[in-house]
Chains A and B, each alone.
Chain A
Amino acid sequence: MTVEVLADRGARARRDEEVDVVIVGAGPSGSVAALHLARAGISVVVLEQGEWPDYADYTGARPEHELVSTKLWHPNPNVRDNPNDYPVDTSTTDINPLMFAGVGGSATLYGAQWMHFLPSDFRVRSMDGVAEDWPFTYEDLLPYQLEIEREVGVSGLAGDPAYPPRGAYPFPALPMGSVGQRGALGMEKMGWHWWPGSNAIPSEKFGELNPCVRRGTCLTGCPEGAKSTTDRSHWPLALKAGARLVTRARVKEIETNEQGLATGVVYVDANGRDRRQRAKVVIVCANGVGTPRLLLMSGGSRTPDGLANSSGLVGKRLMMHPFASVLASYEDPLDSWRGPFGQQVYSLEFYETDESRGFVRGSKWNCMPSGGPVGVSGATGSKVYVAESGRFQDFWGANLHENVARRFGHSLIWGIVGEDLPEESNQVVLSKDLVDSDGLPAPQIVYKVNENSNRLLKFNIDRCLESVRAAGAIETLVSTPVRESGWHLIGTTVMGDDPKRSVVDQWGACHDVPNLYVMDASTFPTSGATNPTATIMAVALRNTRRMIGERRNQKVA
């Protein structure tokens, strides 16, 4: 039976039926929960505001790719302007949050860079005296990380001395192109750490995933079906196991009874009608912006400050990983439009705290190809390499031809991801005037890049320039902090033991509403500096396993 037929069968919800679990969001976290609950024989319905991806819509293999993808596949929902997304009020933020609505979630557009958090990420208070320790450790999470890697089909090379020993990756690392080799050369010249990239892109056929053919358009959807997203890695299995998935279903409220227990959700269906899905347990997997938005929209008159918010922390402590990029051009050809895009090389040289640098915590660098001629020209689009005040003539005329000749096919980009420390003033609130296509309040982001992040980025950019110049760069362009870089949305329903200082416990259960769970990165007490999806899926798996094991003790309405 095809996925399409299964998906269709799954979507037929039975009126007024109470299921064991309803999940909001079919991104990486919701997909993990759905698959494992369904396999345990638990009835589960997933409500997703977006739709199934149509791979024919990904333009990567077509000449118009650079023209179309900067709109249709832009990671900022405000630019995409698709009614399946909700808009975000970004008038009060230094960084725009990026995401995508659909089966597979924001990973539809992710770079598939696959990194575990490091041991110290779970112990920042104990080691560096800042923020909070996590309620569990690196070692507690590792078995779940490895299990998720097998489900996702990750490729990589084991043995990195920046991590404790771990088992082999399911697939060999993707081939390192000239871009990766040049990035590594700079690090080698400096005597710094680097390692071949690990990516959620299997290098060989795996289940519904095809082998990667290095088309290099991962960030705008993979037309080959090679980049691992859960519409291919998890949903075919979840549907077979009996999970039901309803698309174009936007949840507007989590309902509770007099005892303060969740009874289900109300959602707006594809025809604009309100529907109710009753459930014994509600799991929210709507990401670090969508999850607090939904909790703040819920609760009614009983909890006017939002559901599960007695701590006042719902929406607060938003972390988005301030990001800088360094583009470096070289004399010799690097074929730098070729993928994977993905990371060909990463570095954790400056990951751990060194107080002599003037900031705490650290960064992860990833080396990527620079892409097609329009992007590297810097002349149009997101203006990543263009000063807003710059004269337009600097990017056009003869300068355009010279910039493209120097950069196109000859350049690489180092992305620098900085750990973001939690601050209550950085938060998601409900917008007073902006609404989505169903009239529901849009989230508003209130976020400032803090002083620690500014110092961290400056230090790392200076080091990165040393490295690329050591490898012979003839031109460097820096962008910091990149405004369109909020791809990691973390921290807005923090986990912890104390109900006064946290929203959920270490298993994702809300202190105030014990049958309401959050299983996305909203629960993370700190952000690490690595790309978070591996850790998001591993934590979701850990929570789901615990829910299955404890199902007889679960308090329900």
Chain B
Amino acid sequence: MSNENAFLALADFLIPAHGKMPKFSDVCGYADVEKSLDFRVDLKPGFARGIAVDPGTGAEARLESLNKEDGEAFSAITTIAIATYYMSPRVRELIGYPGQENVPYDSKATQIYLTNGSLGHVIARGRKYRPTPGL
């Protein structure tokens, strides 16, 4: 099995299609995976070990054994899979995530807690601190 197929099999087990959400390989190609690895070169050795596990066994059994025997490889495979998936523009659109966007605002706008009376309740409940004069 090529590296590409070995990883995609694991990734599709971790991130299958479910409801409106696509499976990993429907929205991410191996080029995306390699791009992610270039952002995290520290994960490359664990990733390489992770995809080298006996391809004869099924994805779940391979992940099970990595999780037990090589935490670093398991972590590299899962981190790359999840991060690559949620970077996909299609996935972001489906979950309604524009990224860490810029949202300018009016700093002088009156905040709702000042008009709906909620902060007034806090003030009405009175002083909370313990004064310490003379101590």
**Chain A partners chain B:** yes
Chain A interfacial positions (CB closer than 8 Å to B): 60-61, 63-68, 70-71, 81, 118-120, 122-123, 126-127, 133, 137-138, 155, 159, 161-164, 171-176, 181, 184-185, 188, 191, 193-196, 203-204, 211, 213-217, 224, 337-339, 348-349, 351-352, 372-374, 377, 379-381, 392-393, 396-398, 400-402, 404-405, 408-409
Given known pairs A337-B100, A374-B83, the reply for A193 and B109 (CB within 8 Å) is: no
Q: Which residues of A contact B101 (CB under 8 A)?
A: 215, 338
Given known pairs A64-B87, A66-B86, A67-B36, the reply for A211 and B128 (CB within 8 Å) is: no
Given known pairs A64-B39, A67-B87, A68-B40, the reply for A338 and B97 (CB within 8 Å) is: no
A444 CB to closest chain B CB (Å) equals: 24
B5 interface contact, C-beta 8 A: no
* B95 in contact with A409 (CB, 8 Å): yes
* B100 in contact with A404 (CB, 8 Å): no
| Interface of A (DSSP majority class) | loop
Choose one: A66, A70, A71, A120; the contact of B129 (CB below 8 Å).
Answer: A120
Contact size range, B: 35 or more
Q: Which residues of B contact A119 (CB under 8 A)?
A: 129-132
Chain B interfacial positions (CB closer than 8 Å to A): 13-16, 18-19, 21, 36, 39-40, 42, 60, 63-64, 67, 74-75, 78-79, 82-84, 86-87, 95-97, 99-105, 107-109, 111-113, 118-119, 121-123, 125-132, 135
* B107 in contact with A211 (CB, 8 Å): yes
* B129 in contact with A164 (CB, 8 Å): yes
Q: Which residues of A contact B111 (CB under 8 A)?
A: 173, 175-176, 196
Q: Using a Cβ cutoff of 8 Å, how many contacts connect chains A and B? A: 173
Q: Which residues of B contact A392 (CB under 8 A)?
A: 63-64, 67, 74, 78
Given known pairs A119-B130, A127-B130, A211-B107, the reply for A380 and B87 (CB within 8 Å) is: no
* B103 in contact with A123 (CB, 8 Å): no
Q: Which residues of B contact A188 (CB under 8 A)?
A: 118, 121-122
CA A133 to CA B132, docked complex, whole Å:
11
* Given contact pairs A123-B135, A214-B102, A351-B128, a sample of 14 additional A-B residue pairs in the complex whose CB atoms are under 8 Å apart: A60-B100, A64-B83, A65-B99, A66-B86, A159-B123, A161-B127, A163-B129, A188-B121, A193-B122, A196-B119, A372-B97, A400-B14, A402-B18, A404-B95
Choose one: B74, B86, B96, B100; the contact of A215 (CB below 8 Å).
Answer: B100
Choose one: B42, B96, B130; the contact of A71 (CB below 8 Å).
Answer: B42
* B128 in contact with A348 (CB, 8 Å): yes
CA A181 to CA B75, docked complex, whole Å:
36
Q: Which residues of B contact A348 (CB under 8 A)?
A: 128-129
Most central of B16, B39, B103, B112 by chain A CB within 10 Å: B103
Choose one: A127, A174, A401; the contact of B132 (CB below 8 Å).
Answer: A127
CA A22 to CA B89, docked complex, whole Å:
51
CA A70 to CA B95, docked complex, whole Å:
22
Q: Which residues of B contact A185 (CB under 8 A)?
A: 118
CA A127 to CA B135, docked complex, whole Å:
8
Given known pairs A64-B87, A171-B107, A381-B79, the reply for A215 and B102 (CB within 8 Å) is: yes
CA A118 to CA B128, docked complex, whole Å:
11
Given known pairs A67-B40, A68-B40, A214-B103, the reply for A398 and B18 (CB within 8 Å) is: yes
Q: Which residues of B contact A374 (CB under 8 A)?
A: 82-83, 86
CA A159 to CA B114, docked complex, whole Å:
12
CA A112 to CA B107, docked complex, whole Å:
18
Most central of A118, A214, A373 by chain B CB within 10 Å: A373
Nearest to A205 among chain B residues (CB) is: B107
CA A126 to CA B21, docked complex, whole Å:
60
Q: Which residues of A contact B126 (CB under 8 A)?
A: 161
